[in-house]
């Protein structure tokens, strides 16, 4: 510890506090830990569901080509890989469908950057699942805090917080699982500051899911190197030429540190319950609250924030991918009883179904800038004049038991009821993290 301790005086307050938080006993109440378990289940489900996406296949093939020590499990690969590589592959794989959780405080995807690092290191270190979950929770919280510190200016300048803030969270989770000292964890954060990267210019390409893997892998490698004696500048977040100064960071330490250790920003993470563009979710949630009788419908009016009009308002999509960006098609899928949480619901076949086309053509989409971006209204106009209306705001907190039911329902649609229940049981057990690894491999 001597060398790391000698550097301590140079550490800024933010890094010092974050490093302390990363290693301290975790104060999270059961309600927060329950959300972390939900995110773990959700992460496993979207990761397995994404296994055949091209980016997942390409990275899995790279891992197979490199081979190496079998430390950690990959989604849908029989052979384990070195921890760093497992983090890379699993990050990209679990973000491939863009169906993982989102935190809107900083606008980032906490799970896909941090769980891959936490599971990979936990398997390599033969840690238990409760330790893995706690490290992931601490890492995800830290990633959100770093994201708040970087602020909107960082995101607006063009950085993908999943990649940048996420790397710090991954490093914190890895360092915690390796039981590094606080001064060493500060070195990890400093080292990651020189590697965290990821541009919004990659949105719409395989580069976006790759970012999650980059963040996870950078966190794992930083912790491995620091454990082996690597010395980095621990003041590389806040200091001169540091991450905030160079990356358009607001450097809002107040926002980052407020309530750290007692308030859990992570608790308000948002799970995606529909396998389509986020802009459609509020309308689909509103629709869920209505008693649907498609055969009597005359007209459906969706009212939404204007920003979504250019994003996800394809009026007559003919492909499954198009349907993911179409109010009319997504609403029609729901009205016909297709589960909008399932990937296979968004199919070319369904788009060509005359019943879907008929319902789709009843849908009218109206912009309204008095709504928030997270809000939508829906009105079902029945023949004979009856009108049913509902409204939903994605920011409205969902009670924990409802969240649990929804995430489990989504997971069952993606990976089946048996595997969902197996993962849920495992996440509540004292099993080794490697048991979760076994489960994601096949």
- Binding of residue 95 to its own copies (CB under 8 A): no
In whole angstroms, the minimum distance from the beta carbon of 32 to its own copies comes to 32
In whole angstroms, the minimum distance from the beta carbon of 114 to its own copies comes to 19
Q: From 31-39, 129-137, 244-252, 290-298, give the range in contact with its own copies by CB under 8 A.
A: 244-252
- Binding flags for its own copies, 310-349, as an x/- string (CB under 8 A): ----------------------------------------
- Binding of residue 249 to its own copies (CB under 8 A): no
Q: From 34-42, 104-112, 240-248, 332-340, give the range in contact with its own copies by CB under 8 A.
A: 240-248
- Binding of residue 220 to its own copies (CB under 8 A): no
Which of 105, 225, 309, 336 is in the footprint of its own copies by CB under 8 A? 225
Q: Phi/psi class of residue 158: alpha, beta or left (left: φ > 0; alpha: ψ in -120 to 50)? A: left
Q: From 82-90, 273-281, 297-305, 431-439, give the range in contact with its own copies by CB under 8 A.
A: 82-90
Which of 1, 6, 24, 62 is in the footprint of its own copies by CB under 8 A? 62
Cβ pair 323, 333 in contact under 8 A: yes
Cβ pair 24, 261 in contact under 8 A: yes
- Binding of residue 231 to its own copies (CB under 8 A): yes
Q: From 199-207, 261-269, 383-391, 409-417, give the range in contact with its own copies by CB under 8 A.
A: 199-207
Q: Which is nearer to its own copies, 321 or 390 (CB)?
A: 321
Q: Which is nearer to its own copies, 85 or 286 (CB)?
A: 85
- Binding of residue 91 to its own copies (CB under 8 A): no
Which of 21, 43, 75, 210 is in the footprint of its own copies by CB under 8 A? 210
Chain CA centroid to CA 213, Å: 12
In whole angstroms, the minimum distance from the beta carbon of 57 to its own copies comes to 8
Which of 41, 55, 135, 183 is in the footprint of its own copies by CB under 8 A? 55
Q: From 65-73, 397-405, 407-415, 427-435, give the range in contact with its own copies by CB under 8 A.
A: 65-73
Q: From 29-37, 62-70, 140-148, 305-313, give the range in contact with its own copies by CB under 8 A.
A: 62-70
- 38 closest CA partner among 143, 111, 129, 88: 111
- Binding of residue 1 to its own copies (CB under 8 A): no
In whole angstroms, the minimum distance from the beta carbon of 401 to its own copies comes to 40
Report how far apart the first and last C-alpha atoms of the chain are (Å, whole number): 41
DSSP H helices in 304-353: 320-323, 327-335, 348-352
DSSP H helices in 8-109: 13-23, 30-49, 54-66, 83-95
What is the tally of helices (H) and strands (E) in the chain?
Answer: 20, 4
- Binding of residue 247 to its own copies (CB under 8 A): yes
- Binding of residue 204 to its own copies (CB under 8 A): yes
Which of 202, 270, 374, 391 is in the footprint of its own copies by CB under 8 A? 202
- Sequence-distant (6+) residues with CB within 8 A of 215 are 91, 113, 117, 162, 163, 164, 166, 167, 169, 170, 196, 198
Which of 128, 153, 194, 270 is in the footprint of its own copies by CB under 8 A? 194
The helix/strand/coil state of 392 is strand
Q: How far, CA to CA in Å, does 55 sit from each of 49, 51, 107, 195, 417?
A: 13, 9, 23, 22, 26
Which of 84, 106, 334, 381 is in the footprint of its own copies by CB under 8 A? 84
Q: How many CA atoms lie within 13 Å of 20's alpha carbon, on the beta-carbon side? A: 11
Q: Which is nearer to its own copies, 217 or 407 (CB)?
A: 217
Q: Which H/E stretch holds residue 220?
A: helix 207-227
- Binding of residue 66 to its own copies (CB under 8 A): yes
- Binding of residue 108 to its own copies (CB under 8 A): no
The alpha carbon torsion through 314, 312, 214, 216 (nearest 10 deg) reads -130
Question: What is the rounded distance in angstroms from the CA atom of residue 26 to the CA atom of residue 11?
Answer: 23
Cβ pair 393, 372 in contact under 8 A: yes
Cβ pair 253, 13 in contact under 8 A: yes
Q: Which is nearer to its own copies, 204 or 259 (CB)?
A: 204
DSSP H helices in 96-206: 110-124, 129-157, 161-177, 182-193
Which of 5, 6, 24, 58 is in the footprint of its own copies by CB under 8 A? 58
Question: What is the rounded distance in angstroms from the CA atom of residue 175 to the CA atom of residue 424?
Answer: 26
| Angle at the Cα of 49 from the Cα atoms of 47 and 50, rounded to 5 degrees | 65
Residues that bind its own copies (CB under 8 A): 54-55, 58-59, 61-62, 65-69, 82, 84-85, 157-159, 163, 190-191, 193-202, 204-207, 210-211, 214, 221, 224-225, 228-233, 235-236, 239-243, 245-248
């Amino acid at each position: 510890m001597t060398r790391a301790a000698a550097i301590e005086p140079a550490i800024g307050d933010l890094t010092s506090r974050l490093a302390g938080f990363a290693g301290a006993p975790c104060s999270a109440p059961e309600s927060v830990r329950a959300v972390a378990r939900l995110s773990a289940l959700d992460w496993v489900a979207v990761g397995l569901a994404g296994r055949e996406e091209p980016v997942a296949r390409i990275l899995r093939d790279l891992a197979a080509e490199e081979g190496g020590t079998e430390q950690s499990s990959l989604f849908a690969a029989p052979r384990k890989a070195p921890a760093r590589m497992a983090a890379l592959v699993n990050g990209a794989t679990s973000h491939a469908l863009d169906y993982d959780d989102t935190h809107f405080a900083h606008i980032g995807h906490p799970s896909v950057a941090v769980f891959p690092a936490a599971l990979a290191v936990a398997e390599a270190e033969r840690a238990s699942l409760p330790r893995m979950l706690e490290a992931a929770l601490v890492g995800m919280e830290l990633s959100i805090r770093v994201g708040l510190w970087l602020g909107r200016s960082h995101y607006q300048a063009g950085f993908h917080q999943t990649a940048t803030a996420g790397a710090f969270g991954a490093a914190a989770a890895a360092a915690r699982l390796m039981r590094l000292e606080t001064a060493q964890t500060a070195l990890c954060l400093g080292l990651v500051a020189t590697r965290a990267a990821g541009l919004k210019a990659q949105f719409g390409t395989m580069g976006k899911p790759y970012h999650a893997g980059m963040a996870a892998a950078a966190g794992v490698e930083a912790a491995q190197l620091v454990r082996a004696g690597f010395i980095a500048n621990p003041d590389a977040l806040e200091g001169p030429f540091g991450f905030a100064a160079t990356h358009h960071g607001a450097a809002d330490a107040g926002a980052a540190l407020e309530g750290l250790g007692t308030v859990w920003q992570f608790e308000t993470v948002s799970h995606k319950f529909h396998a389509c563009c986020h802009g459609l979710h509020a309308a689909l949630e509103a629709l869920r609250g209505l008693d649907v009788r498609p055969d009597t419908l005359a007209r459906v009016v969706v009212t939404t924030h204007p920003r979504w009009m250019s994003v996800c308002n394809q009026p007559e999509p003919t492909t499954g991918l198009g349907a993911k960006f179409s109010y009319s098609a997504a609403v029609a899928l729901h009205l016909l009883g297709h589960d909008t949480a399932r990937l296979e619901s968004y199919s070319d076949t369904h788009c060509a179904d005359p019943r879907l086309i008929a319902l789709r053509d009843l849908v009218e989409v109206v912009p309204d800038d008095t709504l928030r971006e997270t809000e939508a209204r829906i009105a079902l106009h029945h023949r004979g004049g009856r009108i049913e209306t509902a409204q939903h705001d994605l920011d409205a907190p969902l009670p924990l038991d409802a969240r649990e039911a929804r995430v489990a329902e989504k997971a069952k649609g993606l990976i089946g009821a048996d595997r969902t229940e197996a993962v849920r049981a495992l996440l509540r057990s004292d099993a080794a993290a490697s048991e979760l690894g076994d489960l994601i491999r096949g």
